[in-house]
Amino acid sequence: MELMTPSGGTIFWTTVTFVILLLLLGKFAWRPILAMLDERESRIRESLQQAEKARIAAQQTLAEQDQILEAARKEAQEFLAKSRKSAEITKEEIIKKAGTEAEALITKARREIEMSRDKAMEDIRDLAVELSMNATAQLIGKSLDAKDHQALIDDSLTKLGKLN
């Protein structure tokens, strides 16, 4: 049967055609395509690895930043607490100092007042003696001696003391 008998000519031509096709496609198609596919695959693999690396690095940086931030926050808090404490101390000191100063001022003022009063008292006493002396002189028309003076002064003083 003709259908099942292979013809030698066709076998020959098929061989020639296929071998030439294989060589041509091997050179112009398969070699560049397969090389390109390999390159693309390696490129993709590299890119993925790089992305993974970058991700890890980013994560590290983020963690570091978090750490730094946390440290800064802690430091700030400590600083705040310290300054608050020192401010408190300063405040108390100032108040205490002000208190003592005020106390000192008051005592000083009081003493001065006392001194002024005493001095005024003295002045008044002297003035009173002089005045009374003058008045007495005028009144008696004669000058009294020192003894009389003293007696008068003492008299006046006792009177004043009583008044006082």
**Contact pick of 5, 138, 162, 164 for another protein (by CB under 8 A):** 5
45 sits near another protein (criterion: CB under 8 A): no
The pair of structure tokens assigned to 89 is 């101390």
Q: Within positions 77 to 116, which residues make up the interface with another protein, using CB under 8 A?
A: none
Which of these ranges, 4-12, 65-73, 90-98, 153-161, lies near another protein under the rule CB under 8 A? 4-12
Please report how close the Cβ of residue 26 comes to another protein at its closest, in angstroms.
Answer: 4
Q: Specify the residue, 26 or 99, whose C-beta has the smaller distance to another protein.
A: 26
Quote the CA–CA distance of 116 and 114 in Å, as a whole number.
Answer: 5
164 sits near another protein (criterion: CB under 8 A): no
Quote the CA–CA distance of 90 and 69 in Å, as a whole number.
Answer: 31
3-state secondary structure of 64: helix
**Contact pick of 22, 98, 104, 131 for another protein (by CB under 8 A):** 22
The amino acid sitting at 132 is S
The pair of structure tokens assigned to 123 is 């002045």
Please report how close the Cβ of residue 23 comes to another protein at its closest, in angstroms.
Answer: 9
Q: Specify the residue, 37 or 68, whose C-beta has the smaller distance to another protein.
A: 37
The pair of structure tokens assigned to 153 is 């002064």
> Angle at Cα 114 formed by Cα 113 and Cα 117, nearest 5°?
85
34 sits near another protein (criterion: CB under 8 A): yes
Quote the CA–CA distance of 14 and 78 in Å, as a whole number.
Answer: 90
**Torsion over CA of 82, 87, 93 and 99, rounded to 10 degrees?**
-150
Residues of the shown chain interacting with another protein in the complex, contacts defined by CB under 8 A: 2-15, 17-18, 20-22, 24-26, 28-37, 39-40, 43
